[in-house]
Amino acid sequence: MDFQLPEELVALRKTVRDFCETEVKPFAREWDEKESFPAATVRKIGELGLLGMGVPEEYGGVGLSSLGIATVIEEIARYDGSLGLTVASHNGLCTNHIKWFASEELKAKWLPKLATGEAMGAWGLSEPASGSDAAGLLTTAVRKGDHWVLNGSKMWITQGTVGGVYVVLASTDKAKKQKGITAFVVEPGTPGFKTVPVKHKLGMRSSDTAELVFENCEVPDSNRIGQVDSGFIDTCKILDRGRITIGALAVGLGRGAIEEARAYALERQAFGHPIADFQAIRFMLADMQTEMDAARLLVQRAATLADEGKPFTREASMAKLFASEAASRACNKALQIHGGYGYTKEFPVERYLRDAKLCEIGEGTSEIQRIVISRELLK
């Protein structure tokens, strides 16, 4: 259950669900096993307009609300967390950074391509030695006339090897720490820039992940996003909305686990009865459903506040924290309900459990969310 969505979002949700039933559900297991990025399916998602959900119509996008984007991400993640992560990160990170803070020239060049999926967007913040401590990044950008020279590396970058455009955060004044970070657009094929695939992940295995390496990589000043040294402030605003979509992603995974566990419990027989007849199973399902309904409402509250232009930093962190941890619990219980079969790849619940763990790490760990929530609470 969720609060009453506008009719257009109900219709959109059904469209996404029908698409996923035919284009995603039959193939998600194979994509996961082969660690294969589903490029053809992603192109079809682009044709539906779901890669330009937040892009204004004048740039070829849909101009969907945060609530609408969360609804779509949940629906995709119910069938495949990796694909949900691809759509969430493309819409929420690289695209939003360009949409909100780039020059008109950069917007006109990249937003139409991002909206259709002609160019997949990647966003480079995390590094091998800086994750939660994002302000401690070591990648540098040194001005050289009308160019900047980038050196360093980025880690865990979604769409890392398939990206058509990259937004990269680099230190432009080490003495200022987080107040000395600037964002740049880097294009594939730029001399001194290469990507290295990251394989053998626990989950989200068909989401493309890579390390980005910069060795005397020159980018023109016209590719700078926003003011010099303002990148970290902009990044915090982007992460707030990103936490809403990761919360929605977690809800989708948890919901998928519940639906699979319910179906299995009604079919599986033990002691002459469906295991759904036993109180132990019923209570697990009750706890799972209660937590995921609460998680969805937290996500929808944060999204609605964002759409209304009201402060939502605390609410976004609360949604992401609760939804991600509740999803992991739901997926774990779903596997338990499946018993030995849940421990095999024959059923999707083991994949949901592996995928859900990422939601407790990406866009700020659970520990970082608790810092944000408590800081906002004690202001």
Active-site positions read: 363
Of 178, 62, 42, nearest in space to 118 by CA = 42
Residue 103 class from Cβ within 10 Å (0-12 exposed, 13-18 middle, 19+ buried)? middle
